[in-house]
Amino acid sequence: MDNVSELDLPEAFLDFLEANGLDPSIYVAGDCIPRYVRLKPGRAAYVEEIEAEIKCKLEKVGWLPGFYSLPPDIQIANTKAYKEGKIYGIDAASGAAVAALDISTGDHVLDLCAAPGAKLCMILDLLGDSGSVTGVDVARHRLAACRTMLQKYALGDKCRLFIADGTTFSLLPPRNHSYSKSYESAWEGKTDAFGEWTSRRPWKERKRLAKAKDGIASLPVAGSEYPELIFYGTHSGIVGLSKTELYKKMDGDEISTCGYDKILVDAECTHDGSVRHVQKFENWGWQTFQRRVLNAERTDSLTTLQLKLLRNGFQLLKIGGFLVYSTCSLTAAQNEDIVEQFLSENAFAELQEIESAKQWPCRSGGMAKTLRFDPLTSQTSGLFVAKFTKLAS
């Protein structure tokens, strides 16, 4: 604890940690947290080449397939391996949240807070050439970064991206759209069918987007009847559909049988468990930190948002499907309290044991069957994970 003073954490943050029963020493341990990378499947032959470039050994993370650890001072952003899409930068705890979904061949998966895309890419890698992935985010600029990742790693074929409010998004997966039928038959009798996606947008759309510059582009979608589709792969179930078919409303019975198999709700939070994120405020200024993390009104609005995201995600889950709720906050208010309130109002939701977690270096959360990662216990960034299933009524 004596080392905590070395970080010069503001008094208000220390009070915040004490009020939430959190140990300030995790921010000292943060300096020793390894950097993690995930190797793109099929790239194992490049490990020695990558090690030679970064001048250190990639250490396998035994409890999480495909993940490797590096010394914390190693930077990967300018490496050839990263630029060529052989490795991803993603914390092992974030990878665990995806692994908790137990993705199977053919699953239709929804990532309700998808940007900037590292977890979305992991989901797509796990699915391979099967199933589909729908990515949703409210921020245009962040989802555009997600689209760039898909293109960089050549993962977009079965994926579609929507700018939308995750608390109200209501589109179901493309289960009933045949991937095998010809484009000609798909377009028959339709005047507004989607063709193959192209980055070259129509003139009217380019004119509208030009007006969205100077910061407006990062704001939530407003005034639009439908979620805005900004990317879709050839086999994502979009090509050949009309807008009417894509945006068709479904009733509760249809959702129960045709909803998503797996849903990830990695909700917006105060990020207080992301030690490297907190340390950035030493440069950004602690006043900014006060506004983003410690402001009571913001925290209250975040917990309201988190509960709404969980509710809506669960509504889109099919019976027997799995939903993982996670945040990189260490506070109970954004984690166990959200889970407890959600369960109290939803008789068809049930917490599940995460079977693979028996080998994970994490601890139990404040509720049975929930998990917590933190720098001291896990040598990762902080993360809370809870897994739900939907029961038949």
Quickly state the pLDDT bin for 152 (edges 50, 70, 90).
Answer: very high
The letter for the amino acid at 363 is R
Residues 69/92, Cβ–Cβ less than 8 Å: yes
Q: What pLDDT does 220 receive? A: 43
In angstroms, rounded to a whole number, what is the distance separating the alpha carbons of residues 333 and 382?
Answer: 15
List, for residues 296-332, the tens digit of each pLDDT value.
Answer: 677 789 999 999 999 999 999 999 999 999 999 999 9
The pLDDT > 70 percentage for the chain reads: 85
In angstroms, rounded to a whole number, what is the distance separating the alpha carbons of residues 320 and 161?
Answer: 25
Residues 235/186, Cβ–Cβ less than 8 Å: no
- Give the largest Cα separation in the chain, rounded: 73
Residues 70/58, Cβ–Cβ less than 8 Å: yes
Tokens 């396998």 correspond to 60
Task: Single out the residue of 166, 161, 98, 179 nearest to residue 316, CA to CA.
Answer: 166
Q: What pLDDT does 29 receive? A: 66
Q: Is 266 annotated to bind ligand?
A: yes
Q: Is 272 annotated to bind ligand?
A: no
Residues 139/268, Cβ–Cβ less than 8 Å: no
**Residue range 21-26: mean pLDDT, rounded:** 80
Give catalytic status of residue 328 as yes or no: yes
Q: What pLDDT does 216 receive? A: 40
Q: Say whether pLDDT at 114 is over 50.
A: yes
Q: Is the peptide bond before 116 cis (omega within 30 degrees of 0)?
A: yes
Q: Is the peptide bond before 65 cis (omega within 30 degrees of 0)?
A: no
Residues 140/218, Cβ–Cβ less than 8 Å: yes
The letter for the amino acid at 47 is V
Q: 98 — phi, psi (to 5°)?
A: -70, -45
CA 85, 87, 91, 94 torsion: positive or negative?
Answer: positive
Q: Say whether pLDDT at 249 is over 70.
A: yes
Q: What pLDDT does 208 receive? A: 52
Quickly state the pLDDT bin for 343 (edges 50, 70, 90).
Answer: very high
Domains of the chain: 11-24+92-172+248-390 (3.40.50.150)
**Residue range 252-261: mean pLDDT, rounded:** 87
Q: What pLDDT does 311 receive? A: 98
List, for residues 278-302, the tens digit of each pLDDT value.
Answer: 767 766 677 777 777 777 677 789 9
In angstroms, rounded to a whole number, what is the distance separating the alpha carbons of residues 92 and 48?
Answer: 21
**Residue range 126-143: mean pLDDT, rounded:** 96
Average pLDDT over the chain, rounded to an integer? 87
Q: 274 — phi, psi (to 5°)?
A: -85, 95
Q: Got the DSSP string for 182-197? A: -HHHHHTT-SS---S-
Which of 113, 121, 328, 362 is labelled catalytic? 328
Quickly state the pLDDT bin for 2 (edges 50, 70, 90).
Answer: very low
Output the pTM of the full model. 0.89
Q: Is 137 annotated to bind ligand?
A: yes
Q: What pLDDT does 248 receive? A: 84
Q: Say whether pLDDT at 90 is over 70.
A: yes
The pLDDT > 90 percentage for the chain reads: 66
Q: What pLDDT does 189 receive? A: 56
> Please, what is the Cα angle at 291 between 289 and 370, to 5 degrees?
70
Quickly state the pLDDT bin for 358 (edges 50, 70, 90).
Answer: very high
Q: What pLDDT does 89 receive? A: 96
Q: What pLDDT does 217 receive? A: 42
Quickly state the pLDDT bin for 91 (edges 50, 70, 90).
Answer: very high
List, for residues 183-237, the tens digit of each pLDDT value.
Answer: 455 555 566 788 999 876 555 555 555 554 444 444 444 445 689 999 999 999 9
Cβ of 14: how many Cβ atoms within 10 Å? 13
